């Protein structure tokens, strides 16, 4: 296969099919409110899901409404979410994003984004303070069901290792590759399965190649075995 785009699409399709055979096709969970997912995405930046979950739970316990979060003294909010890490950066980002949403829409509401094309909705979200393409894509895919493909560290690691993207590719570049190559209805199950595979098998250190369903065509394994 000489066409690079066709080769990439074939690698991605095989990866999706192998992971679906190994893990099944994840069923969509009931969507969270998109503001919840937006704040959760900010809290998840550069930390574990466990720490982010603790910080989000602490935030919701401390403040009954998003207006209360916005009105809170920033040093107080920092202490509330400290368990999530990088609280000094995340607290003002959360408040700035909430303020921008309220100023633009008159309410803490992002459900209207579901009526926009995916590229336009992502562009609107990434204009908010502290919101990059990954955080925006999480909100759009999980809360609003739009056809976007979030790329976190696990997704990027698996896809660059199998050769679907160069090892130096940024998360945004990997996202663009997948969105151009695969059907939109694959995005949700593929994203979920890639994260599971990255956590359980294709780990950053000491990947478990001997039990990997992708091992026979993985470029990284060929180079490192």
DSSP 81-112: TGGGS-HHHHHHHHHHHHHHHHHHHSSS--GG
Q: What is the pLDDT of residues 148-169, one digit of tens each?
A: 999 999 999 999 999 999 999 9
What is the separation, in whole angstroms, between the first and last Cα of the chain?
24
SS3 content of the chain, % helix, strand, coil (to 5): 70, 0, 30
Comparing CA positions, the residue from 121, 174, 120, 170 lying closest to residue 149 is 174
Q: Give residue 50's pLDDT.
A: 94
Q: What is the pLDDT of residues 77-114, one digit of tens each?
A: 999 999 999 999 999 999 999 999 999 999 999 999 99
Inter-residue contact 214 to 208 (CB < 8 Å): no
Q: Give residue 158's pLDDT.
A: 98
Report the C-alpha gap between 156 and 137 in whole angstroms. Answer: 14
Report the C-alpha gap between 61 and 182 in whole angstroms. Answer: 40
Domains of the chain, residue spans = 4-27+150-224, 34-143
Give the global pTM. Answer: 0.92
Active-site annotation, residues: 134
Which positions of the chain have pLDDT values less than 50?
A: none
Inter-residue contact 171 to 151 (CB < 8 Å): yes
Could you tell me the fold of the domain covering 34-143? Endonuclease III; domain 1 (1.10.340)
Q: Give residue 113's pLDDT.
A: 98
Q: Give residue 1's pLDDT.
A: 52
Report the C-alpha gap between 96 and 102 in whole angstroms. Answer: 10
User: Which CATH number applies to 4-27+150-224?
Assistant: 1.10.1670.10
């Amino acid at each position: 296969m000489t066409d690079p785009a066709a080769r990439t699409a074939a690698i991605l399709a095989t990866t999706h099919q192998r992971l679906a055979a190994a893990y099944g096709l994840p069923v969509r969970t009931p969507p969270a409110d998109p503001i919840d997912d937006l704040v959760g995405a900010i809290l998840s930046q550069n930390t574990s899901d466990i720490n982010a979950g603790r910080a989000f739970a602490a935030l919701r316990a401390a403040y009954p409404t998003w207006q209360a979060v916005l009105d809170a003294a920033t040093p107080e909010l920092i202490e509330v979410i400290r368990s999530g890490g990088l609280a000094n950066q995340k607290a003002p980002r959360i408040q700035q994003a909430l303020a921008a949403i309220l100023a633009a829409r008159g309410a803490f509401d992002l459900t209207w984004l579901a009526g926009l094309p995916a590229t336009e909705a992502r562009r609107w979200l990434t204009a908010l303070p502290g919101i990059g393409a990954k955080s925006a894509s999480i909100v759009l895919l999980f809360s609003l069901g739009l056809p976007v493909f979030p790329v976190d560290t696990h997704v990027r690691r698996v896809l660059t290792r199998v050769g679907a993207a160069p090892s130096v590719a940024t998360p945004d570049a990997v996202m663009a590759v997948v969105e151009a190559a695969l059907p939109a209805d694959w995005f949700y199950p593929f994203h979920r399965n890639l994260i599971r595979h990255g956590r359980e098998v294709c780990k950053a250190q000491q990947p478990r190649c001997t039990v990997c369903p992708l091992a026979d065509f993985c470029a990284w394994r060929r180079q490192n075995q």
